[in-house]
Amino acid sequence: MTMDKDNITLLLLSLLSALFLLAYLFPKPKSTNNNNNKGRKFKHTQSTANANNPTTCYTNEQVSKHNTRTDCWIIVKDKVYDVTSYVEEHPGGDAILNNAGRDSTQGFYGPQHATRVFDMVDEFYIGDLKN
Protein backbone atom coordinates (compact mmCIF):
# COMPACT_ATOMS: atom_id res chain seq x y z
CA MET A 1 0.00 0.00 0.00
CA THR A 2 1.39 3.37 -0.94
CA MET A 3 1.01 6.24 1.48
CA ASP A 4 -0.50 9.09 -0.46
CA LYS A 5 -1.61 12.37 1.09
CA ASP A 6 -5.17 11.15 1.77
CA ASN A 7 -3.99 7.97 3.52
CA ILE A 8 -1.57 9.90 5.70
CA THR A 9 -4.30 12.36 6.68
CA LEU A 10 -6.67 9.52 7.51
CA LEU A 11 -3.99 7.78 9.57
CA LEU A 12 -3.22 10.95 11.53
CA LEU A 13 -6.89 11.60 12.22
CA SER A 14 -7.33 8.01 13.40
CA LEU A 15 -4.37 8.29 15.75
CA LEU A 16 -5.61 11.61 17.11
CA SER A 17 -9.08 10.15 17.70
CA ALA A 18 -7.55 7.18 19.51
CA LEU A 19 -5.56 9.51 21.79
CA PHE A 20 -8.67 11.50 22.70
CA LEU A 21 -10.56 8.28 23.39
CA LEU A 22 -7.79 7.03 25.67
CA ALA A 23 -7.68 10.36 27.53
CA TYR A 24 -11.45 10.17 28.03
CA LEU A 25 -11.47 6.52 29.14
CA PHE A 26 -8.42 6.86 31.41
CA PRO A 27 -8.42 10.37 32.90
CA LYS A 28 -5.65 11.45 35.22
CA PRO A 29 -6.67 10.43 38.75
CA LYS A 30 -7.36 13.20 41.23
CA SER A 31 -5.04 13.41 44.22
CA THR A 32 -6.74 12.68 47.52
CA ASN A 33 -4.02 14.58 49.39
CA ASN A 34 -4.16 18.31 48.62
CA ASN A 35 -0.55 18.74 49.74
CA ASN A 36 0.61 16.23 47.17
CA ASN A 37 0.49 18.06 43.85
CA LYS A 38 2.57 15.65 41.79
CA GLY A 39 2.09 16.47 38.13
CA ARG A 40 0.28 19.69 38.91
CA LYS A 41 1.99 23.03 39.07
CA PHE A 42 -0.95 25.04 40.33
CA LYS A 43 -1.70 25.47 43.98
CA HIS A 44 -4.87 24.30 45.67
CA THR A 45 -7.19 27.13 46.64
CA GLN A 46 -9.38 26.25 49.58
CA SER A 47 -13.04 27.18 49.38
CA THR A 48 -14.05 29.77 51.97
CA ALA A 49 -17.47 28.17 52.41
CA ASN A 50 -18.19 25.72 55.21
CA ALA A 51 -20.87 25.14 57.84
CA ASN A 52 -19.43 27.77 60.23
CA ASN A 53 -18.38 30.30 57.59
CA PRO A 54 -21.00 31.30 55.02
CA THR A 55 -19.95 31.64 51.39
CA THR A 56 -18.10 34.83 50.57
CA CYS A 57 -19.90 36.98 48.00
CA TYR A 58 -18.22 39.30 45.52
CA THR A 59 -19.66 42.02 43.32
CA ASN A 60 -18.88 42.37 39.61
CA GLU A 61 -16.90 45.49 40.52
CA GLN A 62 -14.73 43.56 43.00
CA VAL A 63 -14.09 40.74 40.52
CA SER A 64 -13.28 43.21 37.72
CA LYS A 65 -10.19 44.41 39.63
CA HIS A 66 -8.60 40.96 39.27
CA ASN A 67 -7.97 41.06 35.53
CA THR A 68 -4.27 40.43 34.97
CA ARG A 69 -1.93 37.50 34.48
CA THR A 70 -0.69 37.85 38.07
CA ASP A 71 -4.15 38.39 39.59
CA CYS A 72 -6.82 36.57 37.60
CA TRP A 73 -10.36 35.88 38.76
CA ILE A 74 -13.17 34.60 36.56
CA ILE A 75 -16.90 34.11 36.97
CA VAL A 76 -18.57 30.90 35.81
CA LYS A 77 -22.30 30.49 36.39
CA ASP A 78 -22.33 33.12 39.18
CA LYS A 79 -19.43 31.47 41.03
CA VAL A 80 -16.09 33.26 41.46
CA TYR A 81 -12.78 31.48 40.90
CA ASP A 82 -9.23 32.70 41.55
CA VAL A 83 -7.32 31.04 38.71
CA THR A 84 -4.13 33.11 39.07
CA SER A 85 -2.02 30.09 39.93
CA TYR A 86 -3.30 28.25 36.83
CA VAL A 87 -2.81 30.98 34.21
CA GLU A 88 0.69 29.85 33.20
CA GLU A 89 -0.40 26.19 33.03
CA HIS A 90 -3.56 26.77 30.99
CA PRO A 91 -3.33 24.51 27.91
CA GLY A 92 -5.06 27.17 25.83
CA GLY A 93 -2.36 29.72 26.60
CA ASP A 94 -3.54 33.25 27.17
CA ALA A 95 -7.14 32.42 26.22
CA ILE A 96 -7.88 32.18 29.95
CA LEU A 97 -7.11 35.91 30.17
CA ASN A 98 -9.75 36.86 27.58
CA ASN A 99 -12.36 37.19 30.32
CA ALA A 100 -10.14 37.88 33.32
CA GLY A 101 -12.13 39.84 35.87
CA ARG A 102 -15.39 39.10 34.05
CA ASP A 103 -17.92 36.39 33.31
CA SER A 104 -16.21 33.49 31.55
CA THR A 105 -19.16 31.09 31.45
CA GLN A 106 -19.48 30.95 27.67
CA GLY A 107 -15.77 30.34 27.11
CA PHE A 108 -15.57 27.85 29.96
CA TYR A 109 -18.31 25.67 28.47
CA GLY A 110 -16.81 25.84 24.97
CA PRO A 111 -15.95 22.71 22.99
CA GLN A 112 -12.21 23.16 23.61
CA HIS A 113 -12.44 22.00 27.23
CA ALA A 114 -12.11 18.36 28.23
CA THR A 115 -14.58 17.07 30.80
CA ARG A 116 -11.94 17.02 33.56
CA VAL A 117 -11.93 20.83 33.57
CA PHE A 118 -15.32 20.68 35.27
CA ASP A 119 -13.75 18.81 38.20
CA MET A 120 -10.61 20.95 38.30
CA VAL A 121 -12.43 24.26 38.58
CA ASP A 122 -13.71 23.47 42.08
CA GLU A 123 -10.15 23.76 43.36
CA PHE A 124 -10.16 27.47 42.51
CA TYR A 125 -13.59 28.40 43.91
CA ILE A 126 -13.48 31.37 46.31
CA GLY A 127 -17.10 32.51 46.52
CA ASP A 128 -20.31 33.48 44.79
CA LEU A 129 -21.24 36.46 42.68
CA LYS A 130 -23.44 38.91 44.54
CA ASN A 131 -26.49 39.76 42.43
Q: pLDDT tens for residues 57-107?
A: 999 999 999 999 999 999 999 999 999 998 988 877 888 898 899 998 888
pLDDT, average across residues 10-21: 68
pTM over 0.85: no
The Cα–Cα gap between 14 and 1 comes to 17
Query: Lowest-confidence range among 3-7, 80-84, 111-115?
Result: 111-115
Whether the pLDDT of residue 128 is over 80: the answer is yes
Q: pLDDT tens for residues 33-54?
A: 343 333 333 333 444 444 445 6
